[in-house]
């Protein structure tokens, strides 16, 4: 017996319309089902393949600022996708915690409107021991991003610094 994959996850929320708008409009997820009477929304990044990967439901009991989960990570396909989210987050005023290279991935850590930490990330074909996280600027041109990521692998600084 073995787990095949993570199927979906969900969040209890205070403001369902606000959170639905963020995940639907800002992140680009598709609403596949919802029930306004009980306050639940099902969302998917691949609605033709997976009915839902993410659920939002009213009923949050944790106070604002309480740490509920470590992060929710959303994989993208290209560096252009990462760069597009870099621009969108700036345009939307989304709080970005850090833009990073993990050596084996590029990622942007950000917060949704209720303070839940998320990440959009791109896998990179490198085998780099984890944890590895160093700040990088996805506003740079692609060739500079890749060059900086290579430089950061061997810069001699600490491989990981937690960001709170």
Give, for 105, the enclosing helix (H) or strand (E): strand 105-111
Residue-wise pLDDT for 97-134, tens only, equals 999 999 999 999 999 999 999 999 999 999 999 999 99
Nearest CA among 111, 110, 150 for reference residue 134: 150
> Distance between CA 5 and CA 131 in Å, rounded?
22
Give the pLDDT confidence score for residue 19 in this predicted structure: 98
Give the pLDDT confidence score for residue 164 in this predicted structure: 57
Q: What fold characterizes domain 7-59?
A: 2,3-Dihydroxybiphenyl 1,2-Dioxygenase; domain 1 (3.10.180)
Domain 7-59 shares a fold with domain 71-158: yes
Strand order in the sheet with 30-35: 9-13, 54-58, 40-44, 30-35
> Could you tell me the CA-to-CA distances from 39 to 13, 21, 55, 74, 101 in Å, in that order?
10, 14, 11, 24, 37
Model confidence at 146: pLDDT above 90? yes
List beta partners, residue 100: 107, 135
- 60 close to 12: Cβ distance less than 8 angstroms: yes
Nearest CA among 76, 87, 38, 35 for reference residue 58: 38
Percent with pLDDT over 70 in the chain: 96
Domain boundaries 71-158, corresponding CATH code: 3.10.180.10
> Distance between CA 47 and CA 1 in Å, rounded?
27
Domain ranges of the chain: 7-59, 71-158
């Amino acid at each position: 017996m073995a787990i095949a994959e993570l199927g979906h996850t969900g969040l209890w929320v205070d403001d369902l319309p606000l959170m639905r708008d963020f995940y639907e409009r800002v992140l680009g997820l598709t609403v596949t089902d919802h029930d306004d009477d009980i306050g639940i929304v099902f969302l998917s990044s691949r609605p033709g393949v997976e009915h839902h990967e993410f659920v939002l439901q009213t009923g949050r009991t944790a106070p604002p600022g309480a740490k509920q989960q470590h992060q929710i990570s959303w994989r993208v396909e290209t560096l252009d996708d990462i760069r597009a989210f870099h621009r969108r987050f700036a345009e939307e005023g989304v709080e970005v915690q850090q833009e990073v290279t993990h050596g084996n991935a590029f990622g942007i850590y950000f917060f949704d409107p209720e303070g839940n930490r998320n990440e959009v990330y791109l896998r990179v074909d490198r085998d780099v021991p984890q944890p590895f996280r160093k700040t990088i600027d996805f506003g740079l041109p692609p060739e500079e991003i890749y060059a900086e990521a290579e430089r950061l692998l061997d810069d001699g600084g600490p491989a990981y610094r937690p960001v709170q």
